[in-house]
Amino acid sequence: MTDHVRIGVLGAAMIAPAAVIRPARSSTVAEVVAVAARSAERARTFADKHGIPRVHGSYEDLLADPAVDAVYNPLPNGLHGKWTLAALKAGKHVLCEKPFTANAAEASSVAAAAAASGLVVMEAFHYRYHPLAVRVDEIIRSGVLGPLRHVEASVCFPLPAFANIRYDYSLAGGAMMDAGCYAVHMARLLGGEEPSVRSARALLRTPSIDRAMRATLRFPSGHTGSVHASLWSATALKLSMKAIGENGVLSVLNPLGPHVFHRLSLRLKDRHSSETFGRRATYAYQLDAFTDAVLHGKAFPTTAEDAVRNMTVIDAIYRAAGLPLRRPTV
């Protein structure tokens, strides 16, 4: 590897084409060269559909492939930690889907291994790499809102397919894991500090699986926060984040998908402005950041250490809601 990154995909996941395969086609420094699945037949079908040249019948075989520099890990939540660790042991950089692991303790183990390896390990919070999120960060850090009073983030969308892995406790499922990890990450971005959890309330699909979750937060500087995540509730669709300060309000509509309809609004005491951004996909910006980190050592925000902090808040929300922490899949 000198001037480009050869990527192998662990699993024939539905998210893989949007997350890495299509962005790689327009990249001059990234190439998806291999895929592995639970069976060689499943991998071959996926590879033929998406023009991937190398097929492996097991994840172990892909990790042993010398033609692979980095792996994209979109496996079920409970398998993220296991196979990220295996990839690091094999000397591969990792782009790991969110949530990073099943819980904070597992995230800490992976982060330690990542630090010891010297390899790039990025949590795939794709929204964070789009100019929209960069602008949000810029506004928050500028202090133009004045002292913060409250921040909030909602990631709610309908998923009534209850056989989906997102409702499977054995695979570390749950609304707070799948949608809520975004809401927590956004609240942390807006809040500028690491929050504590004041309260949480879940709507349940099963005794261990939340189909929706609301939580309240408090930040060290005194401002409060709230997060709302849902896969199936009365709130069918809500994708937004907001920061309220003494001098004004920052609001973002659809922070996850700026390539479709989105808007950033800033209302201050003396002015009001609204911004939209280009339609280039969030995933394309994420792949740029990943390859820049691999090839040039460029810093990036969604590190393994940041993932530990995000999972710590998620664990605290589950505890506050009276639900068990998610566990790695054996």
pLDDT value of residue 79: 98
| Separation between Cα atoms, residue 119 and residue 284, nearest integer Å | 21
196: exposed, middle or buried (Cβ count in 10 Å: 0-12, 13-18, 19+): middle
Rounded to 5 degrees, what angle do the CA atoms 205, 208, 212 make? 45
What are the tens digits of pLDDT across the range 221-270?
A: 999 999 999 999 999 999 999 999 999 999 999 999 877 789 999 999 98
Which is it for the CA torsion 125, 129, 132, 138, positive or negative? Answer: positive
What are the tens digits of pLDDT across the range 13-54?
A: 999 999 999 999 999 999 999 999 988 899 999 999 999 999
User: One of 98, 238, 242, 269 is an active-site residue; which one?
Assistant: 98
The pLDDT > 70 percentage for the chain reads 100
Distances (CA, A) of 100 to 15, 105, 127, 281: 15, 11, 15, 21
Nearest alpha carbon to residue 36 among 46, 49, 26: 46
pLDDT of 296 over the 80 cut: yes
Distances (CA, A) of 8 to 25, 33, 59, 121, 247: 14, 6, 10, 14, 48
pTM, full prediction: 0.97
What are the tens digits of pLDDT across the range 72-101?
A: 999 999 999 999 999 999 999 999 999 999
154: exposed, middle or buried (Cβ count in 10 Å: 0-12, 13-18, 19+): buried
User: Is 98 labeled as catalytic in the residue annotation?
Assistant: yes
What are the tens digits of pLDDT across the range 261-281?
A: 899 999 999 899 999 999 899
pLDDT value of residue 143: 97
pLDDT value of residue 260: 79
Tell the residue number behind the tokens 């893989």, with chain if given.
16
Token pair in block for residue 123 = 């949590």
pLDDT of 1 over the 60 cut: no
Higher pLDDT, 302 or 40: 302
pLDDT value of residue 257: 82
